[in-house]
Amino acid sequence: MILACHNISKSFGTNEILKNASFHVEEREKTAIVGINGAGKSTLLKIIMHQLSADSGEVILAKGATIGYLSQHEAVDSKNTIYQELLEVKRDLIDMEARIRQMEQEMKNLEGEALTRLLETYNRLSTEFERRDGYSCRSEITGVMKGLGFGEEDFSKQIATLSGGQKTRVALGKLLLSQPDVILLDEPTNHLDMNSIAWLETYLLNYPGAVIIVAHDRYFLNRVVTKVVEVENGCVTTFLGNYSAYAEKKRQLRETALKAWMNQQQEIKHQQEVITKLKSFNREKSIKRAESREKMLDKIERIEKPADLNDEIRITLEPRTVSGNDVLTVEHLAKSFGHNHLFSDLNFEIHRGERVAIIGNNGTGKTTILKILNSVLPADAGTFTLGSKVRIGYYDQEHHVLHMEKTLFDELSDEYPTLTNTQIRNVLAAFLFTGDDVFKRISDLSGGERGRVSLAKLMLSEANFIILDEPTNHLDITSKEILENALNSYTGTVLYVSHDRYFINQTATRILELTGNTLVNYIGNYDYYLEKKEELTRIYAPEAETETQEKTSQVKLSWQQQKEEQARQRKRQNDLKKTEERIHALETRDSEIDGLMEQEEIFTDMAKCMELSTEKARIAEELETLYEVWEELAE
């Protein structure tokens, strides 16, 4: 055990956040802390780091163990370049290397005892330098920088010129390079693109220390953690396994608890009815028996009813009008910002009922596409056409559609006057606004909170073509699941940009990857994308596949050709499967015939032998053809 929390309690005023919270973490163990927003996850991390004091309880760190922490909004403030800032983490090794090089120069001018003493020091330092991987520290820094999405052209950028998200990535890089025995990460994937998140997963899986993660990225948690610590209503419960194992176990426990509560309620009701009936007889014996039952009933330890789940909230999205089948047609779209060429000659179509996710690395132009489609930005070239009766509902990360002077409640009730107070509160609750929160002014909300209000408004808009830019940012897992259910039951059309792989897997019917200045089409969810990525990138975006090499030519296929190629590949796989099944069936029958012809009642029956021989010959002939077909399909 490297870290333990024993009976941690913490309150803010009358709000009890943590109640006797206890859990422990083993060496090298990867642990998630989960719970709804406001449950106390970040508070728990701050108590572990002694940034907040607990009201009671204690945090125990193994003797000599080091600990590092990345808070949710941590950013680096420095006059250094990115590379210089990360190099500072290895300053002791850099200084040690400089001292070793200096000794090598000094040796040239020494002899005798002085040289012997210097050699001893030199050997000791060299051994220590090698033991601490000093020779690879610069390549380690470069690997972490590239893993977190910084290209070599970014290494010399000044920290002061970076965005908030980039500064947070630098802070994460510094923490990883410092390699403490325990790492605490609060929402580490918020400012990373998909490639960087995948890199971080691999890095943490192989990390030699313990890792504690607060995150709402379910795909990330499934890949990394082996233990889940849940914070709910102030209480902490530990579950072994990844996030999916936790969610399943949690569901089972709640069903068991709910069943036990219902059974007890039924028994209590039954006893009360019996008591009432006994008393109605108005006989001394009956009254005494009723009183006896009442005493027994009073002694029953009442089971507390399981709390109602937030995910029982259902948002119904239903378009007011049905659009035509062709919702959006984009032709030859191009956009650059100065020398920064984002994309050119983009061509795609979206049809009614599709849920299309646009994915790609940061800076490739995903959000720019959405802004062009919503006339927020002009395209440099190309056109887009909306289909018949298409009505767009747009959610962007800048939340232009809110009235700063209004309260949350008024923002929704003024826009949708037919909704009841309960309906408005339910929608706001789905996006984490409960109680008096609904009477806050929009102007007093954080950026993330305003995003959630915009999303709530959009869910009520009755648009038939919803366009979303990073809709799951600032949502906890429960709210993400509510949004997933709403989109999956939606009969209109959805186009969104997201880096939440679990959300994409649950909702997308098609994926467009923006890579190599072009789009690659995947007719399926995120699992399908992973399966086909290497193959289709090679075909449709060779520049993205070999971006470190110069290309003399690039394969460019039209949108229709892409779809036809993928359909052909699926048909080939189906044909291959059917061929294999037929071969297996024929080979099985051939073996059965061999067995039959060894039986006396068969080989003595000339007519039966002839019939089986003829069938066997037909099987051999068909198998010969099938083997050739299989070989051709398998190529």
Report residue 160 as tokens. 């002061």
pLDDT at residue 406 tops 70: yes
Average pLDDT for residues 2-19, to the nearest whole number? 93
Question: Closest Cα to residue 461, out of 410, 416, 397?
Answer: 416
| CATH of span 326-558 | 3.40.50.300
Q: Is pLDDT of 317 > 50?
A: yes
Q: Which pLDDT tens digit goes with each residue over 17-52?
A: 999 999 999 999 999 999 887 889 999 999 999 999
Rounded distance, CA 314 to CA 543, Å? 44
The predicted model gives 235-248 an average pLDDT of 93
Work out the percent of the chain whose per-residue pLDDT is above 90.
Answer: 45
Greatest mean pLDDT among 62-66, 101-105, 278-282 lies in 62-66
What single-letter DSSP state applies at residue 89? G
For the chain, the distance separating the N- and C-terminal CA atoms, rounded to the nearest angstrom, is 53
Query: Cβ neighbours of residue 126 under 8 Å, at least 6 residues apart?
Result: 100
- Cα separation of 2 and 421, whole Å? 50
Residue 506 pLDDT? 94
pLDDT band with cut points at 50, 70 and 90 for residue 534: confident
DSSP-based three-state secondary structure for 192: coil
- How far, in Å, CA of 581 to CA of 342, rounded? 47
Phi-psi region of 112 (alpha: psi -120 to 50; beta: other; left: phi over 0): left
What pTM was estimated for this model as a whole? 0.71
Spatial neighbors of 314 by CB under 8 A, at least 6 apart, are 482, 485, 486
pLDDT at 548: 37
The predicted pLDDT at position 316 comes to 67
HSE-CB for 52 with a 13 A CA cutoff:
20
Asked whether residue 314 carries a pLDDT value surpassing 70, the answer given is no
pLDDT higher than threshold 50 for residue 552: no
Q: Are 365 and 342 in contact (CB under 8 A)?
A: yes
**Please, which pLDDT band fits residue 60 given cuts at 50, 70 and 90?**
very high
pLDDT of residue 151 exceeding 60: yes
Distance between CA atoms of residues 170 and 167, nearest Å: 5
Give the DSSP letter of residue 608.
Answer: H
Give kind and range of the element (H or E) at residue 22: strand 15-25
- How much is the mean pLDDT over the chain? 86
Q: What is the pLDDT of residue 608?
A: 83
Residue 332: its pLDDT value, please?
A: 94
CATH of domain 566-634: 1.10.287
Joined together, the tokens standing for residue 319 give: 């378009």
> Do residues 355 and 385 touch, judged by C-beta distance below 8 A?
no
Tell me the per-residue pLDDT of 412-438, one tens digit each, with 9 for 90 and over: 999 888 888 988 888 888 787 888 889
Q: State the alpha helices, DSSP H only, in 17-160.
A: 41-48, 82-87, 91-107, 112-131, 137-147
519: amino acid identity, one letter: L
Q: What is the pLDDT of residue 231?
A: 93
Mean pLDDT of 314-322: 76
Whole-number pLDDT of residue 556: 37
Q: Given this model, what pLDDT does residue 398 score?
A: 63
The pLDDT confidence band at residue 524, using thresholds 50, 70 and 90, is very high
Tokens matching residue 424: 């408005």
Residue 309 sits at the vertex; the CA angle it makes with 407 and 311, to the nearest 5 degrees, is 70
- Round to whole Å and give the CA distance between 228 and 224: 11
Is it the case that residue 555 has pLDDT exceeding 70?
no
pLDDT number for residue 518: 85
Given a cut of 90, whether residue 387 has pLDDT beyond it is yes
pLDDT for the residue 108? 80
Residue type present at position 174: K
Instruction: Name residue 328's beta-bridge partners.
Output: 350, 386
Phi, psi of 438 (to 5 degrees): -70, -15
Beta strands in 372-525 (DSSP E): 381-386, 392-395, 465-469, 493-497, 510-515, 518-522
pLDDT of 281 higher than 80 = no
User: Which parts of 471-516 fold into alpha helices (H)?
Assistant: 477-488, 501-507
Where do we find the tokens 């030699």? 208
pLDDT at 265: 92
Neighbouring CB atoms inside 10 A of 170's CB total 23
pLDDT digits (tens, 9 = 90+) for 179-190: 999 999 999 988
* Least trusted range by pLDDT, from 353-367, 459-473, 500-514: 459-473
Among 290-299, 539-548, 567-576, 612-621, name the one with the lowest average pLDDT.
539-548
Give the residue, 483 or 555, on which the prediction is more confident. 483
Q: Look at residue 551 in the predicted model and tell me its pLDDT.
A: 32
CA distance to 7, 63, 211, 250, 320, per residue, from 244 (Å): 27, 34, 19, 10, 36
Q: CB of 320 within 8 A of CB of 462? A: yes
Mean pLDDT of 151-176: 90
Look up tokens 């990373």; give the residue.
Answer: 192
Position 77 scores a pLDDT of 82
Question: What residue spans of 108-234 are helical by DSSP H?
Answer: 112-131, 137-147, 164-178, 194-205, 218-224
CB-CB neighbours of 162 under 10 Å: 19
Distance CA 452, CA 475 (A): 8
Contact (CB, 8 A) for 583 and 626: yes
User: pLDDT for 562-615, tens place per residue?
Assistant: 556 667 777 877 888 888 888 888 888 888 888 888 888 887 787 888 888 888
- For the segment 343-365, the average pLDDT, to the nearest whole number, is 92
Angle among Cα 270, 275, 277 to the nearest 5 degrees reads 95
pLDDT tens, 89-118? 999 999 999 999 898 888 888 888 888 888
